[in-house]
Chains A and B, each alone.
Chain A
Amino acid sequence: MAKTHVTMKVNGAEVEGLVEPRTLLVHFIRENLQMTGTHIGCETTHCGACTVDIDGMSVKSCTMFAVQAQGSDITTIEGMANADGTLSALQEGFRMMHGLQCGFCTPGMIMRAHRLLKENPSPSEQEIRMGISGNICRCTGYQNIVKAIQYAAAKINGVEFKEAAE
């Protein structure tokens, strides 16, 4: 099948590649760019394991063609740590609050939470639950994911977070 040349910015770096028109963005990221932090859980847009941030929106990259991302600015989990290599507030929150177990949903969950906190820097528990409802986790029961996001929100807002992981 004929291939198309695409260029986009991923985690701040200009990247390019040759893809078939049908190549899914998630496959371009995982196979061509060899960034395997973005996961595939369902391929039907239900689970959110493939969530990345595109031009300021959370996008499930299993339901977008790579060619549709031409010229866009993408952030994946690999671009989430602080510049000095330390864990960002969200990554730290997930660890401190035990917001992950198998880790498979975690990159998508963190990417979604990242955008959620940009949209709403101090979300309530209900707003967090609704805000991550496009992302499925099979391990945690979400309770500690909610806390992880609250932890990160507090840290970003410079407020002390007190609640311990249950």
Chain B
Amino acid sequence: MNDLTPTREQRSAALEGMGCKRKRVEDIRFTQGKGNYVDDVKLPGMLHGDFVRSPHPHARVKKIDDSEALKVPGVLAVITAETLKTVNLAWMPTLAGDVQMVLADGKVLFQNQEVAFVVATDRYAADDGINKVIVEYEPLPPLVDPFKSMDADAPVLREDLVGKTTGAHGPRKHHNHIFEWTVGDKELTDAAFKKAEVTIKEMISYHRTHPSPLETCQCVCSFDKIKGELTIYGTFQAPHVIRTVVSLIAKLPEQKIHVIAPDIGGGFGNKVGAYPGYICAAVASIVTGKPVKWVEDRIENLTATSFARDYHMTTEIAATKDGKVTGLRVHVLADHGAFDACADPSKWPAGFFNIVTGSYDFPTAHLAVDGVYTNKAPGGVAYRCSFRVTEAAYCIERAMDILAQKLNMDPAELRLKNFIKPEQFPYHSALGWEYDSGDYHTAMRKMMETTGYAALRKEQAEKRAAFKRGETREIMGLGVSFFTEIVGAGPSKNCDILGIAMFDSCEIRMHPTGAGIARMGTKSQGQGHETTWAQIIATEIGIPADNIMVEEGNTDTAPYGLGTYGSRSTPVAGAAIAMAARKIKAKAQMIAAYKLEVHEDDLEFDIDGFRVKGLPEKFMSMKDICWAAYNSVPPGMEPGLEAVSYYDPPNMTYPFGAYLCVMDIDVDTGVYKVRRFYALDDCGTRINPMIIEGQVHGGLTEAFAIAMGQEIRYDEVGNVVTGSFMDFFMPTAVETPHWETDFTVTPSPHHPIGAKGVGESPNVGGVPAFSNAVNDAFSFLGATHIQMPHDYWRNWKAAKDLGAVA
């Protein structure tokens, strides 16, 4: 050794492995406008398709006349349900076990529903064609209010289901009923409520909203008639699932379908499902023999491809006088719109909403969810959350605040009193989950200490007194939120999509020079997988992250995976990476033993290679082992150094966090100011702290948007009135608060590297923090629960309804 010999710290740092704030490799191309998004794909002779959409929320389609449209220069074809019927594609299955019209078949069920697909030489000509398609409608009474959907005289929406008393998830109670899903012990829960000293009951709505990534949903389909092969470039969060779905519904051999998800401009759940545009573009390519591009515009995105939420949760808590919870009862009315197009694992019609007991030790609970149809766009997807987990977290976190108010207890104190204790993990919840790990008290106390929670409460009390004396018109709210997520779907024992277990995968190939490629079943939409996946490999096998290329999104080259959504990539694919890397490492150890002429048990892994125990100078670097793998492996061993892992997780992971929002509201205008927002997240082992914090910032901003104004709203006759970014709240840098982030680390005990996933936590925990802040601000004026979204007008209205404004 000499001065030039790198230290262990230097060798470790050179890897840029786990825990390193590694700068993103993606950014080199993205900052230069060299990303390759779907709309950037241009194939020779490519045509453009666009939709004729329904102006009516509910109407019979009497006639579609395309004769004038076909005379428009550049228009080549108009595809209708009748065209699709010839290839048996007028309807398509949804991931939720329902079926959905691809194009209007006899009637339309929501405003902006796809009615016909015009194919033309360019997007302008397609638009001209759309204007010339004449559709004759006979309007029918619209059903907008989900609470009226099961009235005896409610209009029949789904004529295709008439007479069907059973759906994909059991019996249907009414012609507009989709499913009823119940979990928990009803008798025990009812008994807990009978005995309860204190109960609360509130109907807590989580309004309809939309993920609205900046890049809309789009695809390019190209059918090669000679080879019988279909290539689809698309904005797909789960490309392999799309390939299988296309194979099943289009009856094409799966090996002849090539799905490519290039760079994706944000997903947030919007790009999990299959949409009519994909089917129509594929059929149009088959019909015309040319590649066909479909690019949704923003209005179409907001009004037709999957919405999120629209859960109406009647929530009851039973408790003792001193604030110990004894039971939870929740009934959800779930508005799915015209078709149940939820993107949940197949057996979970309400996703993992049964995480609704949250972070608290409820001895018993009962949950019932009724899904219903209305004349609205179909869905709903998980908008930056694991399946229906944000709804569940909002439900329980709002309800805990309502209980605290009733008991005249501090909301933080009530939570501390009811948390699952560290020694109770693994914890079996009353609604059936096994929480893998957690230390809620530590996280909560750290939040309270860091924010100066007690002092903030004192300030609030003073401000309330000043308000009552007429000295100020500003009220102050503290929004406490403590969430437990359930992510990493999921174990094959309870999670599948269309019968395919929700494992994920990684294939690593090491090249002779000590470089390598990792191919994945996941698909980044901005999460930075190309950067972080390489960091896991770097730490596991001791090759610098810069030497590992990560490739995702091409179903021909990537191993089968279930894709990226529900914060599943790190819990599932992240584990697959570690497992594949460990297979590489095991073979590398045998090669090193052979080369160093020792038994492999005599070797120990040391940062970037293997060392003979007790003989520090006898060392072989992983780089040299890679070379040896291609020329001098032990006798009997196959050359090469590669591995694949399909990881079926033994359990979900359960990230958690403690958030606090400090908000001031002017009662005369309803204008609020987020004075402070503190977010402590525990996502287990932290792979790249820079990326984690970026994820938290982004998720909090989306939570802020949802809680404070972002809504897909329909008027009473079924017109969607929030169809553009003018009406749909999209915070800019001016409105967006400053975020303070913090963390604790409680590794997952069952995950190979202890990581839990983080991308969605801030949305799940953020929404209740904002809403609780608003509700807390108004509580001293007599408010119990004010529905989201809390925009200026609604805040003013709340103040007025409470008599605080003349």
Contact = CB atoms under 8 A, between A and B. Distances in A.
Contacts of A107: 33
A66 interface: no
Interface in A102-149: 102-107, 110, 128-130, 132-146
Nearest to A102: B526
B694 A144 contact: yes
A15 interface: no
B147 interface: no
Given A39-B215, A78-B33, A102 B725 contact: no
A139 B298 contact: no
Interface in A34-48: 34-44, 46-47
Given A133-B733, A140-B698, A141-B697, A103 B526 contact: yes
Nearest to B213: A138
Interface string B1-29: 00000000000000000000101101111
Contacts of B741: 166
B31 A106 contact: yes
B769 to A, nearest CB: 14
A104 B733 contact: no
A159 B604 CA distance: 47
Contacts of A96: 23
A138 B268 contact: yes
B40 A36 contact: yes
Contacts of B213: 102, 104, 138
B791 interface: no
A77 interface: yes
B123 to A, nearest CB: 8
Interface in B724-768: 724-726, 730, 732-734, 736, 738-739, 741
B739 A143 contact: yes
B694 A44 contact: no
B493 interface: no
Contact of B264 (A44, A98, A102): A102
Nearest to A145: B733
B97 interface: no
Nearest to B263: A103
Interface in B28-54: 28-37, 39-40, 42
A22 interface: yes
Interface in B224-273: 263-266, 268
A95 B298 CA distance: 28
Contacts of A95: 23-24, 27-28, 31
B31 A36 contact: no
Contact of B298 (A41, A92, A103, A132): A41
Contacts of B268: 138
Contacts of A144: 694, 697
A146 B266 CA distance: 20
A130 B700 CA distance: 20
Interface string B420-460: 00000000000000000000000000000000000000000
Contacts of A92: 31
B528 interface: yes
A59 interface: no
B27 A44 contact: no
Contacts of B693: 98, 165-166
A66 B801 CA distance: 52
B322 interface: no
B642 interface: no
Interface string A5-30: 00000000000000010110001001
B700 A141 contact: yes
A43 B73 CA distance: 24
B505 to A, nearest CB: 23
B212 interface: yes
Nearest to B528: A101
Nearest to A111: B33
A103 B739 contact: no
B555 to A, nearest CB: 21
Contacts of B615: none
B214 interface: yes
Contact of B33 (A38, A128, A133, A166): A38
Nearest to B40: A36
B701 interface: yes
Contacts of B24: 95, 98, 100
A145 B698 CA distance: 11
Nearest to B39: A40
B726 A102 contact: no
A80 B29 CA distance: 12
B112 interface: no
A151 interface: no
A139 B698 contact: yes
A44 B33 contact: no
B401 interface: no
B527 interface: yes
Interface in B202-230: 212-216
Given A138-B266, A165-B690, A102 B214 contact: yes
A44 B298 contact: yes
Nearest to B734: A133
Interface centre among B30, B264, B528 (most CB of A within 10 A): B30
Contacts of A140: 694, 697-698, 701
A85 B26 CA distance: 17
A91 interface: yes
A40 to B, nearest CB: 7
Contacts of B37: 36, 39, 104
A104 B215 CA distance: 7
Interface string B121-148: 0111000000000000000000000000
B410 interface: no
A74 interface: no
A88 B792 CA distance: 41
A49 interface: yes
A162 to B, nearest CB: 15
Contacts of B33: 35-38, 76-78, 80, 107
Given A94-B27, A102-B526, A107-B33, A136 B297 contact: no
B27 to A, nearest CB: 4
B702 interface: yes
A145 B31 CA distance: 12
B691 interface: yes
A144 B691 CA distance: 11
Contacts of A137: 214, 733
B685 interface: no
A47 B725 contact: yes
B525 interface: yes
- For the complex of A and B, 3 pairs with smallest distance between CB atoms: A37-B33, A102-B526, A104-B265
25 contacts: A20-B124, A30-B39, A31-B122, A36-B39, A38-B33, A42-B297, A44-B298, A44-B724, A47-B214, A47-B725, A47-B730, A80-B33, A87-B31, A95-B28, A102-B213, A103-B26, A104-B526, A128-B733, A130-B733, A139-B698, A142-B733, A143-B697, A143-B738, A144-B697, A165-B21
Given A129-B734, A132-B732, A141-B701, 15 more contacts: A37-B35, A41-B215, A44-B725, A46-B725, A47-B725, A92-B31, A102-B265, A102-B266, A105-B214, A106-B31, A133-B732, A135-B732, A136-B732, A141-B739, A144-B697
Interface of A: 1, 20, 22-23, 27, 30-31, 34-44, 46-47, 49, 76-78, 80-81, 87, 91-92, 94-96, 98, 100-107, 110, 128-130, 132-146, 164-166
